[in-house]
Amino acid sequence: MRNIHWTQKKFFYALTLGAALALSACGGGNDDDTEPSGDIGILRISQATDTHLNGWYGSGNVGLTGVADTGDIGPNECAFDFDNFTKLTGDRTLAMMGDIRYAYPNGSATPALHGDNIKIKDTTYDFVKEGTNLTKAKVNLTLGTVTFDNLLARDGSNNSVELSGTIKLPDEASRDKACKKPAV
Asked if 67 and 32 touch (Cβ cutoff 8 Å), the reply is: no
3-state DSSP assignment of residue 102:
strand
Cα 102 to Cα 146: distance, rounded to the nearest angstrom: 10
Quickly list H helices, 77-122: none
pLDDT at position 57 is: 98
What average pLDDT does the segment 4-18 reach? 44
Domain ranges in the chain are 1-30, 31-179
Number of alpha carbons in the 13 Å side-chain half-sphere of residue 5: 3
Confidence of residue 9 (pLDDT cuts 50, 70, 90): very low
Cα 129 to Cα 133: distance, rounded to the nearest angstrom: 6
Q: How confident is the model over 54-72, as pLDDT tens digits?
A: 999 999 999 999 999 988 7
Cα 46 to Cα 55: distance, rounded to the nearest angstrom: 7
pLDDT at position 107 is: 87
What average pLDDT does the segment 125-138 reach? 97
pLDDT at position 50 is: 97
Cα 67 to Cα 170: distance, rounded to the nearest angstrom: 7
pLDDT at position 71 is: 80
pTM of the model: 0.80
- Return the bridge partners of 139, or none: 146
Task: Compute CA 78 distance to the chain's CA centroid, rounded to the nearest angstrom.
Answer: 12
